[in-house]
Amino acid sequence: LKEILEPIKIKDVKIKNRIVMAPLIMGHSTQEGHVTPQDIAHLARRAKGGFGLIITGTVMATKLMVPFMVPRTLNLNDDSFIPGLSLVVDACHAFGAKVFIQLFMGAGRQGDTAPDGTPPYAPSQVPWIRPPKSTHDVASRLRVSMDESAPPIPREMTIEEILSEEIEYAKACRR
């Protein structure tokens, strides 16, 4: 168990120990997905507490999928989000922690209907079939949506939309 406190290297990133904060959507960001002081404080506290690596909660990569996400999810779908995320990184680095971003494109057919009634976008109209509930199936008991109705039939994305999403995701990766 002593190895947990030893440094580790992931590609070119040296991490001070092997204690990792798993990604969690905290819902602290603004409605538009910008970092707030609460985001910075929350993650900096984890860094101060000794985590060597902090993985942010979901950070949306593209604008198209934002309406289908949990409200107040962080975004990185344009350059306006960089300054706030840089503050998070700087705050965590101050305590020796590294930060990775969980960059997300959307839930596709598993997504919920947007607040305006738009069905989720997906590569096809094939709906998601929810697994049967089981007292032993933790995943089915912890679903974000507890709606027992049939999942929405997704709107099939056009080839142009799919290609655009690929480009926008790549742009978010470069940011």
Q: Is 111 or 125 the better-scoring residue by pLDDT?
A: 125
Phi, then psi, of 156 in degrees rounded to 5: -70, 125
Provide the whole-model pTM: 0.84
Phi, then psi, of 24 in degrees rounded to 5: -140, 135
Report the alpha-carbon distance of residue 130 to residue 139 in Å, rounded: 11
Q: What is the pLDDT of residue 132?
A: 67
Q: What is the pLDDT of residue 40?
A: 98
pLDDT in tens, 53-77: 999 999 999 999 888 888 899 999 9
Task: With a cut of 50, say whether residue 143 has pLDDT above it.
Answer: no
Q: How many residues does the chain have?
A: 175
Helix 37-48 with 82-93: angle, nearest 10 deg = 20
Question: What count of other Cβ atoms lies within 10 Å of the Cβ of residue 101?
Answer: 21
Rounded mean pLDDT of 154-160? 95
Task: With a cut of 60, say whether residue 142 has pLDDT above it.
Answer: no
Q: What is the pLDDT of residue 134?
A: 59
Q: Is 136 or 5 the better-scoring residue by pLDDT?
A: 5
Report the chain's mean pLDDT, rounded to a whole number: 89
Report the alpha-carbon distance of residue 149 to residue 76 in Å, rounded: 32
Give how far the C-alpha of residue 67 lies from the chain's centroid of Cα atoms, to the nearest Å. 14
Q: Which residues contact 140 (CB under 8 A, 6 or more apart)?
A: 130, 131, 132, 133, 134
Q: Is 133 or 91 the better-scoring residue by pLDDT?
A: 91
Strand partners, 10: 13
- Angle at the Cα of 93 (from 106 to 46), degrees rounded to 5? 70
Task: With a cut of 50, say whether residue 144 has pLDDT above it.
Answer: no
Q: What is the pLDDT of residue 113?
A: 85
Q: Is 50 or 150 the better-scoring residue by pLDDT?
A: 50
pLDDT in tens, 37-47: 999 999 999 99
pLDDT in tens, 12-35: 999 999 999 999 988 999 999 999
